Amino acid sequence: MDLARLTDRVRGALLGGALGDALGWPIEFQRLDRIRIEYGPDGLTDLADAGRGGQVTDDTQMTLFTAEGLLRGGTPEDLHAAYRRWFATQRLPGPVRNPDGWLSGHPFLYASRAPGNACTSGVAQSYRPAAAFGADGPVNPHSKGCGTVMRSAPFGLIGLAPAEAFRQAAVAAQLTHGHPTGYLAAGAFAELIARVTAGAPLRAALDAVLVRLDAEPAGLETAHALRRAVRTAETEPASAEAVERVGLGWIAEECLAVAVYAALAGADARAALVLSVNHSGDSDSTGAVCGNLVGALYGLAGLPADWCALVEGRETTLQVADDLVAFAHGDRAALADRYPLPGAPLPAAPAPAPVLAPEPAPAPTPRRASAPAPTDPGGRTRFRQRD
């Protein structure tokens, strides 16, 4: 694939994820009937109608910090350090004067919008090496929330072979989620992104991922979820009800399956994104994962341009995409200032003030009182307690 086409796909994958995140965020935690009452029988179909100015959430934030961890060394320890930098953005009002790296200097990343419990509790712990695949991981061993999948697209965008993208994403997912389904679903998504970005048709890429999952004894839940998504897309008209038969996205394998279903059933990127968020579940995460996938499939040129113009932090997201492409082509020298390697001195901050001009971000819109926080099947409140 020529460089221009590859760049378009990598840019599409990252900005597409932000699009889906921004589209799903206003209706996350709302039931489908409430969404239809508020936005009409087709649900929320236009980012301009979302009322939050294209805001992104922890899904986009953690994806960008995953990319940063890969660009600043790429080891599991480097990814852990990157996620710790993300965790700092959730506790501080804005960038410090000399932030640890270029990405941490962007004010829009300091918004805290319902980050998942397993992600925050996991990165708060010291680094612990991953377990062998199939065993419970050392951190949050019973958690398989979608926080593993929603941040893992960059492993498929940095030029790794599909099998290596799978391995590295699954290892890094164990930094926060130890359930084998949770981390293997992240690996499956990274491999899927790697194959689609390289030009494979979506169904062919899925078939290859399913072969790998079938070979993993702990991969069966994710394989079953993906096969359910394919079967539903092939046998039923596209609808929100069909999405909910595939899953609600709270757990990793269902989040991936909903995204795959929407990408298969939607006629284009816009239709897929609308399908991926209009349901009673974790709408911003399913939207983000679907956006990563359709962005890699259709490229930036295939995404709705009017929506792209609204996305918070879009220039930063596109710069990170370009940096991933440069890194994949061996151009490390151009990235040294933005992504210092461990032990390298940080670039001095310009005086007298802030390191970067802030990208304007609209004031957060309170969640509507008419949409009570739903509970999962175990009765636990889901608002601000996602995994």
Q: pLDDT tens digits for 268-325?
A: 999 999 999 999 999 999 999 999 999 999 999 999 999 999 999 999 999 999 999 9
pLDDT over threshold 70, residue 26: yes
Q: Assign residue 380 a region (left: φ > 0; alpha: ψ between -120 and 50; beta: otherwise).
A: beta
For 375, phi then psi, to 5°, come to: -115, 155
Q: What single-letter amino acid sits at 375?
A: T
Q: Could you give the CA distance from residue 154 to residue 132 in angstroms, rounded to a whole number?
A: 22
- 2 known ligand binder: no
* pLDDT tier, 376 (very low <50, low <70, confident <90, very high otherwise): very low
SS3 state at 145: strand
pLDDT at 230: 98
| Mean of all residue pLDDT scores within the chain | 91
Strand-pairing partners, residue 281, are: none
Domain ranges for the chain, please list them: 3-335
Mean per-residue pLDDT, 99-124:
96
Predicted pLDDT of residue 380: 28
Is 171 within 8 Å of 77 (Cβ atoms)?
no
Q: Is the pLDDT of residue 369 over 70?
A: no
CA distance 326 to 328: 5
pLDDT for 368: 34
Q: What is the pLDDT of residues 39-73, one digit of tens each?
A: 999 999 999 999 898 999 999 999 999 999 999 99
DSSP, collapsed to helix, strand or coil, labels residue 251 as strand
> How far is the C-alpha of 296 from the C-alpha of 225, rounded, in Å?
21
Q: Is the pLDDT of residue 367 over 80?
A: no
For residue 381, what are the β-bridge partners? 375
**For the whole model, what pTM was predicted?**
0.90
Q: How many helices (H) and strands (E) does the chain have?
A: 15, 0
Under the banding of pLDDT at 50, 70 and 90, the label for residue 348 is: low
What is the C-alpha to C-alpha distance for residues 350 and 352, in angstroms, rounded to an integer?
A: 6
- Residue 167: count other Cβ atoms within 10 Å of its Cβ: 18
8 assigned to a ligand binding site: no
Distance CA 123, CA 65 (A): 12
Q: Residue 114 carries which side chain, given as an amino acid letter?
A: A
Percent of all residues in the chain with a pLDDT value above 90, rounded to a whole number: 85
One-character DSSP codes across 3-26: HHHHHHHHHHHHHHHHHHHHHHGG
Identity at 257, one-letter amino acid code: A
What is the DSSP track for 352-387? Answer: SS-SSPPPP-PPPPPPPTTSPPPB-TT--B-TT---
Q: How far apart are CA 170 and CA 162, in angstroms?
A: 12
Instruction: Report pLDDT for 60.
Output: 98
Gap between the Cα atoms of 251 and 179, Å rounded: 11
Q: Is 59 annotated as a binding residue?
A: yes
What pLDDT band is residue 363 in, cutting at 50, 70 and 90?
very low
The size of the chain, in residues, is: 387
- Tell whether residue 268 is among the known ligand binding residues: no
CATH fold, domain 3-335, is: ADP-ribosylglycohydrolase fold (1.10.4080)
Q: What are phi and psi of 93, to 5 degrees?
A: -75, -20
Lowest mean pLDDT among 35-49, 131-145, 318-332, 356-370: 356-370
Predicted confidence (pLDDT) per residue in 167-198, tens digit = 999 999 999 999 999 999 999 999 999 999 99
Q: What is the pLDDT of residues 138-147, one digit of tens each?
A: 999 999 999 9
Per the model's pLDDT, the better-predicted residue between 353 and 61 turns out to be 61
Could you please report the per-residue DSSP string of 318-344? HHHHHHHHHHHTT--GGGTTTSPPTTS
How far is residue 8 from each of residues 13, 52, 157, 302, measured CA to CA in Å? 9, 27, 11, 9
Phi, psi torsion values for 145, nearest 5 degrees: -65, 165
